[in-house]
Amino acid sequence: MKVAATRELVCNARPQFEAAQLINMTSQKNNDIAVTVRTAYLAEQSDPDGERYVFSYTIRITNNGGVAAQLISRHWIITDANNRVQEVKGLGVIGEQPLLQPGESFEYSSGTVIATVVGTMRGTYQMRADDGVLFDAVIPEFALSMPRVLH
């Protein structure tokens, strides 16, 4: 698979496209989930004439909290430049509901298709800590963009 451009976002540090920013969500000291996002535009799967722009994203979820936490479900909100919104809800991610011990990480890749050269994604992972606490790990909005469209 040929990737035309790759962009890594690690949110909540200084936002910079082309550089890392850390998305760090905290829900109490025991429930601290960090999420790192890398995106890429997939030119070979896209069809600009047909308004089909394909993006991959790789997510790394790290449990920085004091207790184990399991990812139960996800909720994504994907918006294109025409404000068309797609919502994706479901159990787990890529068919898995990973249980992360303190200090452990889980990484997966997936993709989305939008009708414009730029768009955004944001969402939440619904988590259950070993101590029974249910909490949301909020994923702040990040950009999907063809190369050289955003600076």
Q: What's the pLDDT tens digit per position in 107-134?
A: 999 999 999 999 999 999 999 999 899 9
Domain 5-145: give its CATH code.
2.60.40.1470
Looking at the predicted structure, is the pLDDT value of residue 96 above 60? yes
pTM over 0.95: no
User: Are 119 and 144 in contact, with CB atoms under 8 Å apart?
Assistant: yes
Look up residue 52 and give its DSSP letter: B
Looking at the predicted structure, is the pLDDT value of residue 28 above 50? no
Please, what's the b/e burial string for 104-137 (b: 16 or more CB within 10 A of its CB; e: otherwise)? eebebeeebbbebbbbbbebbbbbbbeeeeebbb
- 96 SS3 class: strand
Domain ranges of the chain: 5-145
